[in-house]
Chains A and B, each alone.
Chain A
């Protein structure tokens, strides 16, 4: 005789098996699509990057005990075509512009994000930005950012409808040398007081 639990078990077993096979099929075909579209060597171009340094004293801008902390923003031009990352298993593409650098003594490797974007549709996947502002104020964990060489790169991450998260980077790079600030203490003080008076 068939009991309720037996029926339930059979139905759920079948559902799980079918679900797993379907997921495997979707993951396999979307990988095939990515590879055959050469999605892992997309081109991009990063140019016209200009830094802007601010001095901050808030904890939320990396300042410890109210000590002045250099924050960097950049403006940049960016061209990239990410349409090949969209296939039937792409829920969204998260693309982000990072900078890699080493500290002064070359003992620490750092990577920071200046800008990122969520792209949910293939129609928005062509990036053509001129003089775009970075989203984030960036500071170093211990040192100043000025006087360092930052290597900028555009990365992407596909978040799927089901399956593994896929990561990759585009081939465009840009090396940004942030110049030392001129030793104008007065200027720094001015910007500091302006910072403390403005809410953040």
Chain B
């Protein structure tokens, strides 16, 4: 066993993880949001966005427009919700002071029942994670599969371990 070779392999692995992490953090910094890429989890925006679709977010806009598809998080729940802005009200003197009402295209009613603390509106500055700018279909389904299927995690880990064992130089 060549120790130097093994260490180089380990270092390479670390490099891969580090660069993936830096890529994510760099995207966050550019888009000004804590999750620049989200996977659609619910069918409330069908048929446009289905479960597993990937959305690219941008959060450097000062205010949202009606018709924008935004991602928001309700205080206390860590589930990002992808819905469309139905109404907006903003101060003319300070355009960053804005409240929004949202609705899923595929839902019958607006989102008031979803908001925290019996609120009637979302706050653009506090609640909005980002505005959807780009779309890529179905690629995110693997994350749903891994997080919702208890065997999938083991299968993935097993495959990685096996390939690192078998894949000698």
Contact = CB atoms under 8 A, between A and B. Distances in A.
A110 B99 CA distance: 10
Interface in A1-18: 1, 3-6, 8
Contact of B135 (A94, A140, A163): A163
B48 to A, nearest CB: 4
Interface stretch (A73-81, A152-160, A170-178, A185-193): A152-160
Given A108-B90, A108-B91, A161-B137, A60 B112 contact: yes
Max chain B C-beta neighbours (<10 A), residue from A106, A113, A163:
A113
A144 to B, nearest CB: 14
Given A110-B89, A113-B86, A5 B163 contact: yes
A88 interface: no
Interface string A131-142: 000001010110
Contact of B91 (A3, A92, A107, A164): A107
Nearest to A141: B89
Given A111-B87, A112-B66, A118-B47, A59 B166 contact: no
Contacts of A8: 163
Given A94-B105, A167-B67, A6 B89 contact: no
B6 interface: no
B63 to A, nearest CB: 9
Interface residues of B, number: 37
Nearest to A120: B47
Nearest to A169: B67
B137 A60 contact: no
Interface in B124-169: 132-137, 163-164, 166-169
A159 B135 contact: yes
What range describes how many residues of A lie at the interface?
35 or more
B47 A91 contact: yes
B133 A4 contact: no
Given A3-B167, A5-B163, A141-B99, A165 B69 contact: yes
B167 A4 contact: yes
Given A5-B167, A59-B118, A118-B105, A110 B87 contact: yes
Interface in A39-78: 59-60, 62, 64
Nearest to B49: A159
Given A5-B167, A23-B136, A164-B133, A107 B93 contact: yes
A83 interface: no
A59 B121 CA distance: 12
Contact of B87 (A5, A106, A112): A112
27 contacts: A3-B167, A4-B167, A6-B167, A59-B120, A60-B112, A60-B113, A92-B47, A94-B67, A102-B92, A107-B92, A108-B92, A109-B91, A110-B88, A111-B65, A111-B66, A112-B87, A113-B67, A116-B105, A136-B110, A141-B89, A141-B121, A159-B135, A160-B135, A162-B137, A163-B134, A165-B69, A165-B133
Interface of A: 1, 3-6, 8, 23, 59-60, 62, 64, 91-92, 94, 96, 98, 102, 106-113, 116, 118, 120, 136, 138, 140-141, 155, 157, 159-165, 167
Given A91-B47, A109-B90, 5 more contacts: A64-B120, A109-B92, A111-B88, A138-B87, A165-B132
